[in-house]
C-alpha cells in the first residue's frame, strides 16, 4: 500500500508512520523538514510546505496513492485545497478532525459519532466542523473518498497531557509538582476524561488506512479508559514520585484570567469526555486500546526527565499560575469574612 502523510512528525502522526511502516506500507511524508530527526528510517521525505499548492502539485505530479492523510488541515480553505490537490489520485483521503467538535455542552453519554457537532466556545472546533462539512459535501457530490477521524487528547512519550499549561508545554507544571507549588485543576477535578496514547491511536488509524468500509465515514479513535482529572494529576505526581498539591478553580474563573482557556476548557475539557468505540471496533476488528493512562504518562514523564532539550522553562506561565491561585484564595477569604 502506498501512503502519503502530510505532517507525519507530530504527536499522533509519528506513531502512525512507524506502525504503517512496520506493517509493510510504502510511506511518504510531505513535511517542511523542521524535525528531520523524527522522520523514521524507511519513510520517503518530500520536503515542501503544503500551503505552497503549486510546488506540491508539481512534486506529486504523476504519483498516485492508496491513501493520503493530512494531519495539518485546520481551516475550510485548507480543506478545499486538499480536495483540489488529491481528487483523482488517491483511493482514500483521511482528514484528522477533533473530538472537541462534538456538541458542547453534551446532552448525553457516551459520545458516539452521531452526537451532533456544535461548539460555540472554541473557534478551533468550529473550523474543524466546517472542514468536515466541506469534505463530506465533496464526498456526496463528487465521490471524494474521505474518511474523517476524530481523536481525543492523544499524547505520546514527548508530551504529558494536561488541561492547563503554558505555551512551552508541560514541563513547568511538572516543576510546580516537584517543588510542591499549587497546581491548577479546572472545576472540581471529578469530570471524567479520556486520554489516548499515540501508539493506541496508531492501531486504529492504520486499521482504517486503505479500509474501503471507512470511505464516507466519521470515526473517533479513543481509549476505552476514562478517569477523573484528579486521578490524572495524581498519576502524573506518582510518576514523578511526589503527591501533587492540587488547587481546584472554576473553568470560567480561569478563562477570565486567560481568554484562550475559554475554548480549551468550556469548549472541551470542562465536560466529561466518555466515548463509545463500537463503530471503530466494527471497522477495525480486534482494535483495543491497551495503554492505561498511569503507564502511558509514566513513560512520558521518564522521557521528559531524560531529555533536557524538552525541559523548557515557562516563567510567564509560572507567574500566571501564582496570580490565579492568589486571586482564588483571596476571593475565598473574602467570602469567609462576608
Distances (CA, A) of 170 to 5, 95, 236, 289, 326: 27, 27, 11, 24, 21
Q: Report the 10 Å Cβ neighbour count for 210.
A: 19
Task: Label residue 310 exposed, middle or buried (CB < 10 Å: 0-12, 13-18, 19+).
Answer: middle
Burial class (CB in 10 A: 0-12, 13-18, 19+), 229: buried
Tens of pLDDT along the chain (338 residues)?
999 999 877 888 899 999 999 999 999 999 887 677 778 889 999 999 999 999 999 999 999 999 999 999 999 999 999 999 999 999 999 999 999 999 999 999 999 999 999 999 999 999 999 999 999 999 999 999 999 999 999 999 988 999 999 999 999 999 999 999 999 999 999 999 999 999 999 999 999 999 999 999 999 999 999 999 999 999 999 999 999 999 999 999 999 999 999 999 999 999 999 999 999 999 999 999 999 999 999 999 999 999 999 999 999 999 999 999 999 999 888 776 64
Structural domains of the chain in order of their starting residue, each with its CATH number: 2-155+196-221 (3.40.50.720), 171-194+225-273+292-333 (3.90.25.10)
Q: Which residue has the cell 459535501?
A: 137
Q: What is the pTM of this model?
A: 0.95
Cell representation of residue 248: 481546584
Q: Which of 288, 283, 11 is nearest to 147 (CA)?
A: 283
Q: Which helix (H) or strand (E) holds 315?
A: helix 315-337
CA torsion sign for 221, 225, 228, 232 is: negative
Amino acid at each position: 500500500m502506498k501512503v502519503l502523510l502530510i505532517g507525519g512528525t507530530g504527536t499522533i502522526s509519528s506513531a502512525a508512520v512507524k506502525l504503517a511502516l512496520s506493517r509493510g506500507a510504502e510511506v511518504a511524508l510531505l513535511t517542511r523538514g523542521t524535525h528531520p530527526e523524527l522522520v523514521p528510517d524507511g519513510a520517503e521525505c518530500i520536503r515542501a510546505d503544503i500551503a505552497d499548492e503549486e510546488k506540491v502539485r508539481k512534486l506529486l505530479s504523476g504519483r498516485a496513492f492508496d491513501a493520503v492523510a493530512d494531519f495539518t488541515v485546520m481551516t475550510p480553505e485548507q480543506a478545499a485545497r486538499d480536495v483540489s490537490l488529491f481528487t483523482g489520485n488517491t483511493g482514500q483521503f483521511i482528514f484528522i478532525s477533533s473530538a472537541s467538535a462534538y456538541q458542547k455542552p453534551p446532552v448525553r453519554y457516551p459520545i458516539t459519532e452521531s452526537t451532533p457537532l456544535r461548539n460555540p466556545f472554541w473557534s478551533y472546533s468550529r473550523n474543524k466542523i466546517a472542514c468536515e462539512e466541506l469534505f463530506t459535501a465533496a464526498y456526496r457530490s463528487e465521490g471524494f473518498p474521505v474518511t474523517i477521524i476524530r481523536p481525543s487528547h492523544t499524547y505520546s512519550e514527548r508530551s504529558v497531557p494536561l488541561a492547563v499549561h503554558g505555551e512551552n508545554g508541560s514541563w513547568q507544571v511538572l516543576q510546580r509538582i516537584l517543588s510542591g507549588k499549587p497546581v491548577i485543576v479546572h472545576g472540581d477535578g471529578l469530570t471524567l476524561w479520556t486520554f489516548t496514547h499515540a501508539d493506541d491511536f496508531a492501531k486504529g488509524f492504520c486499521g482504517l488506512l486503505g479500509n474501503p468500509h471507512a470511505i464516507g465515514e466519521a470515526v473517533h479513535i479513543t481509549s476505552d479508559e476514562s478517569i477523573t482529572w484528579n486521578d490524572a494529576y495524581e498519576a502524573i505526581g506518582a510518576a514523578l514520585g511526589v503527591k501533587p498539591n492540587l488547587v481546584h478553580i472554576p473553568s470560567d474563573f480561569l478563562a477570565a484570567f486567560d481568554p484562550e482557556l475559554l475554548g480549551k476548557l468550556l469548549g472541551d475539557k470542562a465536560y466529561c469526555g466518555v466515548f463509545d468505540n463500537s463503530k471503530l471496533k466494527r471497522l477495525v476488528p480486534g482494535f483495543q486500546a491497551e495503554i492505561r493512562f498511569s503507564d502511558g504518562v509514566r513513560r512520558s514523564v521518564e522521557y521528559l526527565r531524560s531529555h533536557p532539550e524538552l525541559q523548557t522553562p515557562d516563567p510567564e506561565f509560572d507567574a500566571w499560575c501564582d496570580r490565579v491561585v492568589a486571586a482564588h484564595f483571596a476571593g475565598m477569604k473574602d467570602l469567609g469574612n462576608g
